[in-house]
Structure 1
């Protein structure tokens, strides 16, 4: 069973997973195309982080950044390697969509990679109703990015 809880990113396991996510984004993407938030940015006001747990082990993390009163952005989605294929990302995504609706948001937005390594993420988002769109907020056209949105 997957347990999802609000996370303050002070626990060793979630810190390690968030740091791994950030490091891998920088290792595999040119700096100008990396939009992953570091730990300090994830702790900023207006950003809520959740962690998913399976049998006492952190299985994934994800965040919601409030862009304005009506829009939120998904950030820092990461499933731990040992938990891939177990529905962790889908559970986190559905949790965040429900929370966004409860907060009265009318749309969610996200940026993810456009290369083959990000195909599973794009498929997950599309399967939950997200549609490709153009850049939003402070993003610009970038061939390494895919932008998606979901009307709530």
Structure 2
């Protein structure tokens, strides 16, 4: 059974997953267009960080960043290579959306890439009702970024 629980981004297996995530982001996008956070940034008090695990084995991660004005942002959605295709990303996304609703946010946003590498992520978000929007919070227009939102 897959369980999603709050976790420590500095935990060794999580740290490794986040390091792989950052490496992939820098390999597929120009450095100025990489908005992924490292384990230290994900430990900030404005961020809630979760992992998905099965029998203690790490399957994926996701985070919710609080912004002012009823806005929250999805950060660090990542599935381990061995868990891909098992629905882990869907479970994590549903968990994050439900948590954001329960907290009373009015809008949930995210930034992802425009490259083909990010097409599966964009499709996942679209299947769950996210639509493209303009930049939010501190983001600016960037040809390498797609901004998406879900009204809650």
How high is the TM-score relative to the length of structure 2? Answer: 0.96
Greater mean deviation of Cα atoms: 67-76 or 82-91: 67-76
State whether residues 62 and 77 of structure 2, in contact with CA within 8 Å, keep that contact through their aligned partners in structure 1: yes
Q: 2 CA distance for matches of 1:25 and 1:38? A: 11
Aligned to 1:64: 64
Greater mean deviation of Cα atoms: 11-20 or 117-126: 11-20
Q: 2 CA distance for matches of 1:10 and 1:39? A: 6
Aligned to 2:53: 53
Describe the SS at the equivalent of 2:49. strand
Aligned to 2:151: 151
Q: 2 CA distance for matches of 1:38 and 1:130? A: 25
Measured on the aligned residues, the alpha-carbon RMSD in Å equals 1.0
State whether residues 28 and 115 of structure 2, in contact with CA within 8 Å, keep that contact through their aligned partners in structure 1: no
Aligned to 1:73: 73
Q: 2 CA distance for matches of 1:101 and 1:28? A: 32
**Map 1:2-151 → 2, pairs under 5 A:** 2-151=2-151
Question: Mind listing any 5+ residue stretches in structure 1 that lack a counterpart?
Answer: none
Shift of 1:126: 0.4
Describe the SS at the equivalent of 1:86. coil
State whether residues 108 and 151 of structure 2, in contact with CA within 8 Å, keep that contact through their aligned partners in structure 1: yes
Shift of 1:13: 1.2
Q: 1 CA distance for matches of 2:22 and 2:29? A: 11
Shift of 1:138: 1.1
State whether residues 5 and 52 of structure 2, in contact with CA within 8 Å, keep that contact through their aligned partners in structure 1: yes
Shift of 1:69: 4.6
Shift of 1:27: 2.2
